[in-house]
Structure formats: C-alpha cells, structure tokens
C-alpha cells in the first residue's frame, strides 16, 4: 500500500488536498494522470451500463435536493455511525465499529493513547449547510450522501421520458459526501467521493433473480478490467450489517493490502425508497402497465460502486516491481482500457530527423487515443517513466524509421519489441485497447 501511495504522489496521480496548509483529513486531489485514470474507470462503467445494454438510461441529478428527501429516505434518522471519544489524554473520536475490527476481543481502548473510551453516541454522516444568507428555520439542506436518492426522486419523469417498463435501470455517476471521521487507507474512505450507482426497477416477483444477475455482472466487470479473480469475492451481509433500506446486500470485496474490504455493494432495496417518497410527497410512484392495467411499486436492485475505491483496487492489483537488465522497475500493469496514456511516442535521438518523424507519428496517434510525446533523457528512463503510469505501448522512432517508415512497438508487459509499419499503427493499437 505504501508503495502505491508513494507512486501516486511521485507521479502526481493522487496527493493530499490543501497540503500547503498542512492537509485536511480524508481529502485528496487528483492530478493529470489520476484524472485520466479516473475518467477511464467511469467510462468503462458507463460503457457496461449504457452502451452494452438496452435497459439502462442515464441521469445527472442535483447534489442538493429538497431536505424532505433525507427524511423520507431515512438518512436523517438512520444514517449514523456509533462514535466513541477518548476519555484519556488525546480526546480523539473514533468509529466504534472500526476500533472493534482492530481490537476484536475485550474492552475497547483508545488506539492513540490507550485511554478509556466514552459510551458510543450516534453521529450523522451527512454534511449540512444552509440555503440563503442567513441560517433560519427551514434553510438547512444536505450534501447528498449517496447519488441514489436523486434517481428515486426522478423515477416518474424518467418512466415517461424514456418510455420504459420494468425491468429497467437508471444510472448516475457523481459526487457524494460523508462526514467520515476515521482517516485511513488513502482514498479508500474519503469525505467526498464519486459514486457509480444504478437503480434497477423490477417487478416484485423478479427481485431475487435480478439481484443474482447484478452480483454476477458486477463481479465480472472487475475481472474483465484486469483484477485477478482470486483477489475478489462476494460476501453477503449478515442481518445486523444491513443498511436501513436494504432487505439483502452482498458486497464485492477486494483483497486490498490491508485485507478484504468492500469495493461495491449490491443491495435489494425492495420498494422501500419509492414507497417512502410516495408517502412523504403524496405523489404516486408506481408503474401502471398500459396493456393489462396492472399497477405495482417496483422493487429496486442497486449496484453501487465508488470510483476512487475502484481506482485504488485497479492500482493495487496492477502494481508490480521487476528487474530489467539488472535495473529495478516499477510498473502498473493496468488494463489498456484504463491506462491514462495509451501510447508514448519516443524519438531515439533529438537530431537526424527523429523528432520530426516522431512528431508526425504522435500527431496521427493522438487523433485516436491519449498519446504522449517524450524526448527527455535516455530511452531506458523514458520507458521506465511510462511503465510507472501504466502506458501499455511505446513507439520508438530511430534511424531505420527515416529509411523505411517503420517503428519499434514495445509492449509494457512482455517487453517484446516488434518492428511495424507506421501505416496502420493506430488501428493495430486500437485493436489491443478494448476490454
């Protein structure tokens, strides 16, 4: 884990936010390659939801919703963690459930100073703010703690606009916010994070079958994008772990360097959310079959993943160190579809026509994929720089290129170097990028 964190910082993928002021707990910024990798994770998710299926539509709902939303959803009353405070020297607060994981036996003690702890107290995870210049009754609103509620609020509109009939899904990617107090494990748990959530509305008697479908689909998605199947497992929640809205949940767990932990949750939310919003709003949130006249409140199966957490899993799983010609290298063996840069174009020399030729190859390749031009330093060092950020291909322009319009194409993983013509190079690479 330390090696991944160090790589992220060294190459500017992800680093602590507000560092010039000493940082802010559980908050990170994403730099150039981090932004590109994040975008590729999100694109791969949209592709699997929208491009490869006919039964899911997209939505982008507001982060700040009417405050009644959170009363109806149960988050105002129930979205809380049990907190304990150190009664000894340090007075810090901790999540009781996190302490219990680290101290499975006996009376809990403060992990920092060893002091006694207070009784647990419920602590709501939602960030509250106010609308308008003054804080007055009714002006309190919340930053959404999940994107899902926006989907339930818009269920009726989407049903009409998209002319859908259950089973169908509404997918959304966006920021969510939680007042997490336990700083740990890099971007695994942060105050603000992006979620990729899809609410799949089904006839009640099909809920179980779709719950199983989405567990398989989501597990396979991570495998298709390169995660070792042995590093993934599905784990059903015990009854006492279930969220207030869920009748059954299974997590896709990944074997992070700090142990098995949740990557994504697949929940059977039943008709809880639509029924609650119908009750609180007075609106009917149901499906009426125009042919048969049958009416029912659809049940909901929800695969909910975190973008940052997926990124962390992809990076941990692809991180490797090996040796080439007696020299140590660090390499991210990312799936090409996720790699921030797909191909690096490297002139062997900064003279003899190499840069001009390399520029022309680069201009052509960048029309089709994210490419990077690099002419700084020895060729070996340039390969290493690209290996570290997971670039699957490097194209080197050398003396022979100026004679016969061929280049060497280096593969990050096999280290094989083939001599290939410039003509058709983009097509050749595109064929090797898709999942």
Least distance in angstroms from the C-beta of 177 to ligand GAP? 9
- Under the criterion CB under 6 A, does residue 308 sit at the interface with ligand GAP? yes
Candidate residues 81, 253, 264, 317; the one interacting with ligand GAP per rule CB under 6 A: 264
| Minimum distance from residue 26 beta carbon to ligand GAP (Å) | 8
Task: Return the CA Rg of the chain.
Answer: 25
Beta carbon nearer to ligand GAP, 307 or 397: 307
| Site for ligand GAP contains 304 (CB under 6 A) | yes
Strand partners for 321: 330
> SS3 for 277-334, per residue?
HHHHHCCCCCEECCCCCCEECCEEEEEEEEHHHHHHHHHHHHEEEEEECCEEEEEECC
Does residue 253 touch ligand GAP according to CB under 6 A? Answer: no
The nearest distance, CB 23 to ligand GAP, in angstroms, is: 17
| Beta strand residue intervals within 315-416, DSSP E | 319-324, 327-332, 343-347, 371-373, 393-397, 406-411
Residue (256 or 362) nearer to ligand GAP, CB? 256
For ligand GAP, how many residues bind (rule: CB under 6 A)?
19
Nearest residue to 181 (alpha-carbon basis) of 286, 55, 81, 282: 81
CA separation (Å) from 243 to 63, 195, 309?
21, 17, 20
3-state secondary structure of 431: coil
Range in contact with ligand GAP (rule: CB under 6 A) among 99-107, 303-311, 365-373, 425-433: 303-311
373 near 354, Cβ under 8 Å?
no
Which span sits near ligand GAP by CB under 6 A: 6-14, 302-310, 341-349, 367-375?
302-310
Residue closer to ligand GAP by CB (options 146, 387) is 146
Q: Report, in Å, the least distance between residue 278 CB and ligand GAP.
A: 19
Question: 3-class DSSP state for residue 91?
Answer: coil
Residue 273 as a binder of ligand GAP (CB under 6 A): the answer is: no
Token pair for residue 237? 């929640």
Range 177-196, binding ligand GAP (CB under 6 A): 178, 180, 189-190, 193, 195
- In this structure, are residues 256 and 316 in contact, taking their beta carbons and an 8 Å threshold? yes
Which residue from 156, 218, 299, 309 is in contact with ligand GAP, where contact means CB under 6 A? 309
Considering the rule CB under 6 A, would residue 218 count as an interface residue with ligand GAP? no
Output the CA–CA distances (angstroms, integers) from residue 351 to 204, 372, 381, in the order listed. Answer: 70, 19, 18
Nearer to ligand GAP, 262 or 398 (CB): 262
What's the min distance (Å) between Cβ of 97 and ligand GAP?
A: 13
Site membership for ligand GAP, residue 169 (CB under 6 A):
no
- φ/ψ region of 202 (left if φ > 0, alpha if ψ in -120 to 50, else beta) reads beta
> Please, which residue, 178 or 412, has the CB nearer to ligand GAP?
178
CA pair distance 276, 100, nearest whole angstrom: 33
Angle (CA) 332 336 339, round 5°: 55
Q: Which two tokens stand for residue 402?
A: 């100026």
Site for ligand GAP in 70-109 (CB under 6 A): none
- Please pick, from the candidates 146, 253, 317, 372, the single residue that binds ligand GAP as defined by CB under 6 A: 146
d(CA 395, CA 388): 16
Q: Which stretch binds ligand GAP (CB under 6 A): 5-13, 43-51, 261-269, 338-346?
A: 261-269
Question: Least distance to ligand GAP from the beta carbon of 308, Å?
Answer: 5
Nearer to ligand GAP, 73 or 396 (CB): 73
Nearer Cβ to ligand GAP (301/394): 301
306 is an interface residue for ligand GAP by CB under 6 A: yes
Judged by CB under 6 A, does residue 250 bind ligand GAP? no
Q: What is the number of alpha carbons within 13 Å of residue 389 lying toward its C-beta?
A: 29
What does the alpha-carbon distance between residue 152 and residue 158 come to, in Å, rounded to a whole number?
10
Identify which of residues 263 and 285 has a Cβ nearer to ligand GAP in the complex.
263
Residue 126's SS3 state is coil
Binding range to ligand GAP, per CB under 6 A, among 39-47, 69-77, 103-111, 259-267: 259-267
User: From the CB of 340, what's the least distance to ligand GAP, in Å?
Assistant: 20
- Judge whether 227 and 254 are in contact, CB under 8 Å: yes
Binding site for ligand GAP (CB under 6 A): 146, 148, 178, 180, 189-190, 193, 195, 197, 262-265, 302, 304-306, 308-309
């Amino acid at each position: 884990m330390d090696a991944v964190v160090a790589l992220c910082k060294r190459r500017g993928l992800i680093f602590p936010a507000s560092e010039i002021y000493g940082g802010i707990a559980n908050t990170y910024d994403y730099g150039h390659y981090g932004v590109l990798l994040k975008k590729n994770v999100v694109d791969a998710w949209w592709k699997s939801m929208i491009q490869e299926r006919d039964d899911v539509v997209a939505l982008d709902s507001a982060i700040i919703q009417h405050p009644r939303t959170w009363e109806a959803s149960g988050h105002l009353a129930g979205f809380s963690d049990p907190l304990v405070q150190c009664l000894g020297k340090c007075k810090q607060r901790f999540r009781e459930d996190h302490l219990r994981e680290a101290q499975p036996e006996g009376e809990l003690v403060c992990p920092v100073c060893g002091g006694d702890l207070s009784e647990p107290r419920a602590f709501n995870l939602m960030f509250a703010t106010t609308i308008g210049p003054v804080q007055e009754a009714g002006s309190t609103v919340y930053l959404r703690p999940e994107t899902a509620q926006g989907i339930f609020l818009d269920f009726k509109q989407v049903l009409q606009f998209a002319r859908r009939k259950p089973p169908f899904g509404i997918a959304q990617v966006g920021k969510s916010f939680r007042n997490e107090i336990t700083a740990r494990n890099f971007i695994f748990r942060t105050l603000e994070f992006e979620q990729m959530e899809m609410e799949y509305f089904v006839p009640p008697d099909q809920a179980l079958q779709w719950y199983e479908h989405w567990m398989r689909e989501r597990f396979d998605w991570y495998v298709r994008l390169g995660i070792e199947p042995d590093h993934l497992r599905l784990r059903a929640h015990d009854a006492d772990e279930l969220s207030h809205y869920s009748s059954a949940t299974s997590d896709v767990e990944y074997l992070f360097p700090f142990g098995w932990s949740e990557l994504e949750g697949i929940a059977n939310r039943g008709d809880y959310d639509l029924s609650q919003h119908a009750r609180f709003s007075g609106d009917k949130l149901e499906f009426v079959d125009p042919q048969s006249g049958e009416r029912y409140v659809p049940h909901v199966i929800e695969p909910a993943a975190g973008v940052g957490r997926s990124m962390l899993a992809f990076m941990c799983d692809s991180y490797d160190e090996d040796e080439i010609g007696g020299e140590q290298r660090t390499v991210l063996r990312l799936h090409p579809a996720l790699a921030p840069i797909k191909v690096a174009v490297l002139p062997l020399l900064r003279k003899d026509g190499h840069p001009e030729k390399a520029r022309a190859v680069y201009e052509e390749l960048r029309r089709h994929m994210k490419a990077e031009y690099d002419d700084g330093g020895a060729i070996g060092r340039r390969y290493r720089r690209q290996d570290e950020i997971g670039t699957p291909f490097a194209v080197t322009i050398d003396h022979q290129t100026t004679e016969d319009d061929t280049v060497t194409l280096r593969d990050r993983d096999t280290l094989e170097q083939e001599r290939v013509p410039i003509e058709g190079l983009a097509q050749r690479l595109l064929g090797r990028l898709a999942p």
